[in-house]
Amino acid sequence: MRMLDGVAPLAERYDGFILDLWGVVHDGRQPYPGVADALGRLKAAGKRIAFLSNAPRRSFVVDALLTGMGLDRALWDGTMTSGELAWRHLKHRDRADFAALGTRALHIGPERDLSVPAETGLVLVDRAEDAEFVLNTGPEPARGNTDIEPYRAALTACAARHLPMVCVNPDRHVMVGDQRVLCAGALADLYLALGGPMAIEIGKPDPACYPPVLELLGLSDRSRIVAIGDSPHTDLAGAQAAGIDAVWALTGLAAHAHGATPDPERLAAEAAAEGVRPVATLAALRW
């Protein structure tokens, strides 16, 4: 597996870049060193850049977060999130599984994710007895984001009523600074273990995420597009399923798992275990 220190060699091969956000562009608090410079150099070279994130909130919310971190909005061409995709399905009921959900949802997640049910016709309720499905966007401040046990009672009540779940972030964990925290996917796993009937996961690694991103890029030749992400299970697997080359960023979750001096053989073994074949690894999103 080719090991790259920065993205400059990729600029020679690809016209479009699909970048994961959390763990690649930023750590949940601030951009990684060198990111703004790398994005600027790619744009100056005429490259198209889109962000594809499993963030459980709409794209405009994420764009505002990024500019709030100090990134210039001119550095990327568009953003697609799992929250944006879920909002579209809830709004338009364009899939059979969403059409069957009903309109009364028990939301598990923080207030910052309320852009997902907004303007969809959903009524948010507080009790499982009043709900037709569970809208899971991740852990809440009151119950915490490091221990799954505070969610067991609520999920047990929902499973007892056989409520379907919409999981708006298939990630199981993410790094916030140097802390590993829960994501909605971990709650979905517990829900199924408790007897929940189904969890509809919206986001990577579903290859259906990628056509909307190609529209943002304005590119159709997938052989000239590369996706960069830190998670083999979501970022790399999703790109591979969509027929797009993938590069494994050794930041975020990968840095947590493999440290500052990753072992190439261990990286290869983990990729093989996930069934993915990244074209290279990337030390960081820098030039």
Report pLDDT digits (tens) over 113-134. Answer: 999 999 999 999 999 999 999 9
The mean pLDDT of 53-82, rounded to a whole number, is 98
Going by C-alpha positions, the residue among 105, 60, 52, 61 that lies closest to residue 82 is 52
227 & 150 share domain? no
**CA separation, residue 86 to residues 58, 133, 137, 144, 167 (Å):** 9, 14, 10, 24, 9
Chain segment 165-179, per-residue pLDDT in tens = 999 999 999 878 778
Band the pLDDT of 144: cuts 50, 70, 90.
Answer: very high
Q: Is the pLDDT of residue 180 over 90?
A: no
Domain count, the chain: 2
Q: For residues 195 and 236, state if they share a domain.
A: no
Confidence of residue 279 (pLDDT cuts 50, 70, 90): very high
- What is the residue whose two structure tokens read 């708006």? 168
Q: Are residues 173 and 212 in the same domain?
A: no
pLDDT at residue 160 in the model: 98
Query: Do 167 and 187 form a contact (C-beta atoms < 8 A)?
Result: yes
pTM: 0.94
Of 139, 166, 201, the residue that ends a domain is 201
pLDDT digits (tens, 9 = 90+) for 193-226: 999 999 999 999 999 999 999 999 999 999 999 9
Residue 187 has pLDDT above 90, yes or no: yes
Structural domain contains residue 133 = yes
The helix/strand/coil state of 107 is: strand
In a domain, 69, yes or no: no
**Is the pLDDT confidence value at 89 over 90?**
yes
pLDDT for residue 256 is more than 90: no
CB-hemisphere CA count at 13 Å for 232? 20
Is residue 261 scored above 90 in pLDDT? no
Q: Which CATH number does the domain housing residue 104 bear? A: 3.40.50.1000
Instruction: Look at residue 175 in the predicted model and tell me its pLDDT.
Output: 78
Residue 93 lies in a domain: no
Q: Say what the pLDDT of residue 179 is.
A: 86
Domain residue limits at 42: 2-54+205-282
Q: Examine the fold and report which residue of 135, 167, 201 is the final residue of a domain before the chain moves on.
A: 201
Looking at residue 141, its pLDDT comes to: 92
In a shared domain, residues 49 and 117: no
Last residue of a domain, one of 201, 226, 251: 201
- Domain check: are 273 and 219 in the same one? yes
Calculate the alpha carbon distances from 283 to 13, 127, 212 in Å: 18, 46, 28
Q: What's at 50, amino acid-wise?
A: A
Is residue 68 a part of any domain in this protein?
no
- Please say if the pLDDT value at position 280 is more than 90: yes
Q: Is 76 exposed, middle or buried (0-12, 13-18, 19+ CB in 10 A)?
A: buried
